[in-house]
């Protein structure tokens, strides 16, 4: 089997997305807010590739590429110069990720849940930033499909 057959929910995420990231501290205070335009593609039924284009109100921009490799058994892994981790489907609406930023300390891990709407037109994402077993930050992301 291939990536699309083994991870049908991931295949439903293919396309163009736009949304907003809200980074909050442990008490809910806003740390950062920026827009995202994202492209999600599955190539050769074995490689997942995501391109994130971020824009801040002050004109700053960043682009990050996230290539993922199908590991088999319904799991994908990613290992870039910036991040390393894995993701898999929990059910027919939810993808779960666990990763770390390589520039950060080893004891900081991120856990993300992505929930796709039943019509496939929107999704919500939540990151929890866990350090030494405690949540030190949360990221909330709401996106809509634009292509």
Residue 48 clears pLDDT 80, i.e. is over it: yes
Arithmetic mean of pLDDT, 119-143? 97
Distance in angstroms (rounded) separating the CA atoms of residues 59 and 41: 27
Predicted confidence band of residue 105 (pLDDT cuts 50, 70, 90): confident
Domain boundaries, the chain: 3-145
pTM value is 0.94
**Which is nearest to 4 in space by CA: 76, 81, 62?**
76
Percentage, residues of the chain above pLDDT 90: 91
Residue 113 clears pLDDT 80, i.e. is over it: yes
Q: Residue for token digits 């801040």?
A: 56
Predicted confidence band of residue 7 (pLDDT cuts 50, 70, 90): very high
Q: What is the pLDDT of residue 17?
A: 98
CB within 8 Å of 133: residues ≥ 6 apart:
none
Residue 99 clears pLDDT 90, i.e. is over it: yes
Predicted confidence band of residue 103 (pLDDT cuts 50, 70, 90): confident
CATH number belonging to domain 3-145 = 2.40.128.20
Residue 1 clears pLDDT 80, i.e. is over it: no
Sign of CA dihedral 132, 68, 95, 32: positive
Q: What is the pLDDT of residue 14?
A: 97
Distance in angstroms (rounded) separating the CA atoms of residues 23 and 29: 8
């Amino acid at each position: 089997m291939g990536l699309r057959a083994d991870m049908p929910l991931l295949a439903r995420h293919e396309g163009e997305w736009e949304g907003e990231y809200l980074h909050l501290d442990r008490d809910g205070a806003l740390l950062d807010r920026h827009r995202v335009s994202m492209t999600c593609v599955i190539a050769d039924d074995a490689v997942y590739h995501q391109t994130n284009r971020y824009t801040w109100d002050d004109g700053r921009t960043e682009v990050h590429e996230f290539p993922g490799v199908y590991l088999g058994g319904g799991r994908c892994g990613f290992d870039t110069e910036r991040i390393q981790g894995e993701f898999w489907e929990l059910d027919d609406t939810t993808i779960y990720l666990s990763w770390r930023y390589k520039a950060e300390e080893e004891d900081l891990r991120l856990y993300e849940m992505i929930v796709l709407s039943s019509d496939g037109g929107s999704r919500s994402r939540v990151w929890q930033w866990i350090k030494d077993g405690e949540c030190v930050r949360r990221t909330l992301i709401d996106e809509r499909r634009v292509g």
